[in-house]
Amino acid sequence: MSKRTVYQVLFSLVCTLVFVSVASAHQITIGERMRIGNGPEVQAGTYRVEVAKNQDAAEVSFFQGGDLVVTSR
């Protein structure tokens, strides 16, 4: 492989990792009711999950249809 090809592959890999780490919202499907840690319960369904990274701890928010359903720390 040429140096140019190696640099292109490395650049693509780095860009992919940066974009994945920047995205703080993901869509998940929960098959059955579950409890988040020792906190609230989440019903079965499809949710958009956002992770807010605070200084001391992370905060996870579950949204369904644009409405906030549950927030947990």
Would residue 66 be called left, alpha or beta, if left means φ above 0 and alpha means ψ between -120 and 50 degrees? left
Residue 66 and residue 73: Cα distance in Å, rounded?
20
Any bridge partners for residue 65, and if so which? none
How does residue 72 score in pLDDT terms, banded at 50, 70 and 90?
confident
Q: 35: Cβ–Cβ under 8 A, 6 or more apart, which residues?
A: 41, 42
Any bridge partners for residue 69, and if so which? none
Q: What are the pLDDT digits (tens) for 7-66?
A: 676 777 665 655 555 556 778 888 888 877 777 888 888 888 887 776 677 788 888 888
